[in-house]
Amino acid sequence: MASRKTKRKNLIQILSLTVAVVLVVIVSVMFQQWWNDRPEPLPEDISITASAPAGEVEVFPFSICEPGVECAENEVPTLNVGADEELHLSIPESIHDHDWYLLTIYDDPAANDEFYHTSYDATEATVPGSVDPLEEGGERPRLVVVEVSSVMIGQDENGEESPYTVTWSLSTMDNAEGE
């Protein structure tokens, strides 16, 4: 038969273990609630990093539109990308954690292309500065503009959450090259 001292020691250990488990559960639930309720960044604060041999640029949204509302457009940054170079885009998690599109626009419309990515499908993209000509012996179409689009949740003028179509746009040729 166990002594009174042993029973007391076992009871203290069981109570200590029970308190520890309850504390871990409470902290876990509180952390999960905080994690789920933390605010997402607003679409206008999210940028894509574009890099090429000419340098690196942070691209903020070109347009942010609620469905059915006319869209205001912002400045389009430029990063020169040569015909034999590549443009690298780093897509932040707040974009790539859901569906997004990459549109590549070349100086020959027949070479334009659109790529659809599902959530966590890709965290970056590489776009060639030129592609093979569609006609044999023709000039290689040069990359002119790259756009990334996604539907995100933002806040309307009343502070309510609302869906927005957000587009990041980057020109890859300066005006002198494009003319």
How far, in whole angstroms, is CA 77 from its chain's centroid? 18
90 and 156 co-located in one domain: yes
The band of 142, judged by pLDDT with boundaries at 50, 70 and 90, is very high
pLDDT of residue 179: 43
Domain count, the chain: 2
125 and 162 co-located in one domain: yes
76 and 34 co-located in one domain: no
* DSSP secondary structure, 64-110, as one string: EE-TTSPPPB----B----TT-EEEEEPPHHHHTS-EEEEEEESSGG
Q: Is the pLDDT of residue 176 over 60?
A: no
Look up the domain containing 32 and give its range.
Answer: 1-38
How far, in whole angstroms, is CA 165 from its chain's centroid? 13
7 and 86 co-located in one domain: no
Question: How far is CA 111 from each of CA 14, 50, 70, 116, rounded to the nearest angstrom?
Answer: 71, 21, 29, 17
Residue 83 makes CB contacts below 8 A (sequence gap 6+) with 129, 130, 140, 142
126 and 92 co-located in one domain: yes
Alpha-carbon gap, residue 142 to 132, rounded angstroms: 10
Whether 116 contacts 137, CB under 8 Å: no
71 and 33 co-located in one domain: no
160 and 100 co-located in one domain: yes
Over the stretch 2-61, which tens digit does the pLDDT of each residue have?
Answer: 687 888 888 889 999 999 999 999 999 888 887 777 667 888 889 999 999 989 999 999
Q: How many residues does the chain have?
A: 179
Over the stretch 57-78, which tens digit does the pLDDT of each residue have?
Answer: 999 999 998 877 888 888 999 9
Enter the tokens of residue 53: 């041999």
7 and 57 co-located in one domain: no
26 and 62 co-located in one domain: no
Q: Is the pLDDT of residue 162 over 70?
A: yes
pLDDT of residue 178: 46
Over the stretch 91-137, which tens digit does the pLDDT of each residue have?
Answer: 999 999 999 999 999 998 989 999 999 999 999 999 999 998 877 77
